[in-house]
């Protein structure tokens, strides 16, 4: 949960960074205008630099969000691949046992064998009746 808040905070600060970039550019242009005694063109130039810095912050945040989304998608894809590569428990339960005694219950119960039989072959359940 704490990781989610860190991600939200990272993207929530973009608006503040954009606004501060505009204000810093504007006030830097006004300061230069007052210092150099030029017209309003340095104020507009500073404001333009502030806009460029603000859009740069938005672009960087968008690129970081894209990288995070691609990373999460790759992790989910890898998890799905691992899940599909593992042998299924259900299919292993349905497989035939390797032990012949489990396949034929007469082999594990000697009472089902025919004592009169010379070859000792087990009798079926139907022969007992």
Structure tokens at 11: 């993207």
The answer to whether 55 touches 15, Cβ cutoff 8 Å, is no
Spatial distance between the Cα atoms of 105 and 112, rounded to a whole number of angstroms: 9
Model confidence pLDDT, tens digit, residues 50-108: 999 999 999 998 998 899 889 999 999 998 888 888 776 445 545 555 555 555 555 55
Backbone angles phi, psi at 90, to 5 degrees: -65, -40
Q: Is the pLDDT of residue 5 over 60?
A: yes
The pLDDT score that the predictor gives to residue 40 is 86
């Amino acid at each position: 949960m704490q990781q989610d808040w860190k991600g939200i905070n990272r993207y929530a600060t973009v608006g503040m960074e954009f606004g501060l970039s505009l204000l810093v550019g504007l006030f830097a242009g006004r300061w230069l205008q007052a210092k150099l005694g030029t017209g309003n063109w340095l104020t507009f130039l500073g404001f333009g630099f502030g806009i460029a810095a603000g859009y740069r912050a938005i672009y960087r945040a968008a690129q970081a969000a894209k990288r995070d989304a691609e990373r999460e998608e790759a992790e989910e894809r890898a998890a799905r691949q691992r899940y599909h590569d593992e042998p299924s428990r259900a299919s292993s339960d349905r497989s035939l046992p390797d032990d012949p005694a489990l396949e034929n219950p007469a082999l594990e119960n000697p009472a089902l064998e025919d004592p009169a039989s010379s070859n000792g072959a087990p009798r079926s359940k139907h022969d007992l009746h």
